[in-house]
């Protein structure tokens, strides 16, 4: 399996709740940042898939396992990888780590999202080969 794509995130005050802990739903926003930046690193973006290929990637399943809290001003590293893909399905995996000076990063959360490739009519369709091939390069395998 290829190494994950990484992106740095600095926790903003607005992302925390009354207890000073990152509100749980923000992890899913960060997961989206990870997917978008992974695709950008492969030479394309969501807009291109939607406008040129007329394909959309709605989330049909999402989960997150919270291990430790993230707090305001923490510097985080989000690792994103393609866990597997089929002709019309992609499963992404995420690991969110807090960077700590002079110590190993702390695992804060792990998650996954599953996306089905659909057309404008919300009918399942195949992801065009250009995009599918780039994503396959991130997994090393594909399941039909």
- What domains appear along the chain, each with residue ranges and CATH number? 5-139 (3.10.129.10)
Instruction: Average the pLDDT over 31-48 and give the result.
Output: 94
Q: What is the mean pLDDT of residues 21-45?
A: 96
131: Cβ–Cβ under 8 A, 6 or more apart, which residues?
44, 49, 53, 55
Confidence check: pLDDT of 5 > 50: yes
Which pTM was predicted? Answer: 0.92
Q: Which residues have a Cβ under 8 Å from the Cβ of 39 and sit 6 or more positions away?
A: 45, 46, 49, 134, 135
CA distances from 102 to 38, 93, 106, 138 (A): 28, 27, 12, 30
The pairing of strands 75-86 and 5-10 is antiparallel
Mean pLDDT score, 18-27? 95
Distance of CA 73 to the CA centre of its chain: 21
Q: How far is CA 72 from the centre of its chain?
A: 21
Catalytic residues: 17
With a pLDDT cut of 90, the percent of the chain lying above it is 85
| Contact yes or no for 133/87 (Cβ under 8 A) | no
Using CB atoms within 10 Å of the CB of residue 86, give its burial: 0 to 12 exposed, 13 to 18 middle, 19+ buried: middle
pLDDT per position as a tens digit, 51-70: 989 999 999 999 999 999 99
Residue 1's pLDDT is 61
Measured CA to CA, the distance from residue 44 to residue 76 in angstroms comes to 25
């Amino acid at each position: 399996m290829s190494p994950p794509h990484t992106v740095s995130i600095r926790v903003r005050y607005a992302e925390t709740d009354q207890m000073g802990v990152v509100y749980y739903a923000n992890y899913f926003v960060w997961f989206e940042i990870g997917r978008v930046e992974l695709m950008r690193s492969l030479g394309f973006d969501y807009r291109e898939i939607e406008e040129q290929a007329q394909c959309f990637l709605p989330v049909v399943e999402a989960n997150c396992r919270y291990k430790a809290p993230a707090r305001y001003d923490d510097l985080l590293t989000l690792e994103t990888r393609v866990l597997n893909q089929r002709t019309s399905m992609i499963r992404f995996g995420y690991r969110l780590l807090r960077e700590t000076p002079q110590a190993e990063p702390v695992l804060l959360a792990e998650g996954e999202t599953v996306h089905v490739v659909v057309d404008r009519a919300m009918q399942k369709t195949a992801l065009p080969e250009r995009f599918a091939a780039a994503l396959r390069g991130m997994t090393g395998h594909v399941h039909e």
